[in-house]
Amino acid sequence: MPVDLQALYPRLIHLMLDTVFVVDREDTIVFVSDACEALLGYRADELTGTPITRYMHPDDLEATRASIVRVMNGNAHCDFRNRYVRKDGEIVHILWAASWSDEVGARIGVARNVTALTQAEQELRFLAHHDPLTKLTNRSLFNDRLATALRMARQQRRRLALLFLDVNDFKGINDVHGHAAGDRVLCTIARRLQDSVQAADTVARIGGDEFIVLLTDVPSEDAVYEMVEQIAKVMEQPLGAEFGEVLMPSCSIGVACYPSDGEDADTLLSHADGQMYLKKRRRVRVG
C-alpha cells in the first residue's frame, strides 16, 4: 500500500522542532506550526490572524522589514537573524529561512531559536577583547584604542596620558591567602580603577597584577598627576570585612603624557612602565 505523503505533510510540519510560519501580503499570520509555543510562548491559535510585526523586537523592525521586501520580491533569505519578544517578555534570537510562494500568495518562513548560540557568540567576542577575570579591556583591544586615541590627539592637537599600575607584593597575597583571594583583590582593584576614570577612558589588565589606564580628555599634565593622587587614595582604602585578614596592597603608578613624554605608543608605554619601576625601587629602598 503506497504511503499518502500529502496526508502526512501536516503532521510532519507540526512535528518539526523549528517553527513554520505562513504570512500573507499584509504581514498577517495565516498559519503557524505547533512549535511556536516553545519558541514564542503563544499557542498557534493565539498567533493566527495577528500581524507578525507585533512580536518583533522594536529595534529590529527596520532590518526585518528590509528582509521582508527582499523575500516578497522573489529573493529567498535563508540566513536572516532578528529578535522577537516572547509572551513572557523574554527576548528570543531567531534564525530565519524564508521565501515567497506565488502559488499561495504568501511568504513561508522557518524559524529556529538561536538564543543560546547568539549568547555564546557574544561571549566569545567579549572574551577576545577582555580579561576573563576582571572583565576589563585586554592588551589587544587596549593597543587598538591607544592607536586610535593617538591619531585623534595628533589631528586635534590634544593631550592624552597613560597610567601604568603595578600591585606591590601581590605574590604574598597568593602565597598566604590563596589564588582565589588574590583574584578577588584584582577584581577590586579593577573596579576601583574603572570607577575613578571617565566613561571615555580605558582601563585594561595587561598582566597578572599590572593594569594600564588611557586618559583621553586631559586638560593639563597637572590634571593627570591630580588623577594619579586620587587613584592612589582610592587604592589605599581598606578591603571589606568579607576579605577577612587580607589587606589591601599598595600600588605603584607610572605616568606618561603625550606629547611631552613621547609621540608614539611604544615610547609612551615604555616611559610609563619605566616610571612605575622607578617608584617600586624607591619604595623598596625606603622600606
Q: Above 60 in pLDDT, residue 146?
A: yes
State the average pLDDT over residues 83-102. 96
Compute φ and ψ for 112, nearest 5 degrees. Answer: -120, 135
Residue 207 sits in the same domain as residue 98 = no
Query: Under 8 Å CB-to-CB from 208, ≥6 apart: which residues?
Result: 170
Does residue 184 share a domain with residue 138? Answer: yes
Q: What is the pLDDT of residue 162?
A: 97
Average pLDDT of the chain is 92
Q: Is residue 103 part of a domain?
A: yes
Band of the pLDDT at 287, cuts 50, 70, 90?
very low
What integer pLDDT is reported at residue 5 of this predicted model?
Answer: 60
Peptide bond before residue 259 is cis, with ω within 30 degrees of 0? yes
* Count of domains forming the chain: 2
Q: What is the mean pLDDT of residues 192-198?
A: 94
- Exactly one of 201, 209, 217, 222 is catalytic; which is it? 209
Q: Provide the domain limits for residue 115.
A: 5-119
Same domain, residue pair 82 and 145: no
Lowest mean pLDDT among 13-17, 118-122, 130-134, 209-213: 13-17
165 and 204 together in one domain: yes
Q: What is the DSSP letter of 81?
A: E
Supply the CATH number for residue 26's domain: 3.30.450.20
Which of 272, 286, 199, 194 lies closest to 234 in space, CA to CA? 194
77 with 135, same domain: the answer is: no
The C-alpha atoms of residue 260 and residue 161 are separated, in whole angstroms, by 10
The one-letter amino acid at 95: L
One domain for residues 102 and 18 = yes
Rounded average pLDDT over 36-64 = 97
Cα distance between residue 151 and residue 264, in whole Å: 10
For residue 209, indicate whether it is catalytic.
Answer: yes
Tens digit of each residue's pLDDT (9 = 90 or more) over 262-275: 999 999 999 999 99
Regarding predicted confidence, which is higher, 3 or 143? 143
Taking each helix axis from N to C end, the angle separating 179-196 and 221-236, rounded to the nearest 10 degrees, works out to 140
- 228 and 215 Cβ atoms separated by less than 8 Å: no
Mean of pLDDT values over 159-165: 96
264: enclosing H helix or E strand: none
Q: Are residues 153 and 258 in the same domain?
A: yes
Strand partners of residue 49:
none
Q: Looking at the structure, do residues 81 and 162 belong to the same domain, yes or no?
A: no
How big is the chain by its Cα radius of gyration, in Å? Answer: 29
pLDDT over threshold 90, residue 217: no
Tell me if 124 is assigned to some domain.
no
Same domain, 139 and 264: yes
pLDDT of residue 96 exceeding 50, the answer is: yes
Distance CA 101, CA 21 (A): 12
pLDDT tens readout for residues 238-255: 998 888 889 999 999 999
Q: Which of the pair, 179 or 13, is modelled with greater confidence?
A: 179
Examine the fold and report which residue of 86, 119, 152 is the final residue of a domain before the chain moves on.
119
Residue type, 115: T
| 149 shares a domain with 54 | no
Percent of the chain past pLDDT 70, that is, above it, reads 95
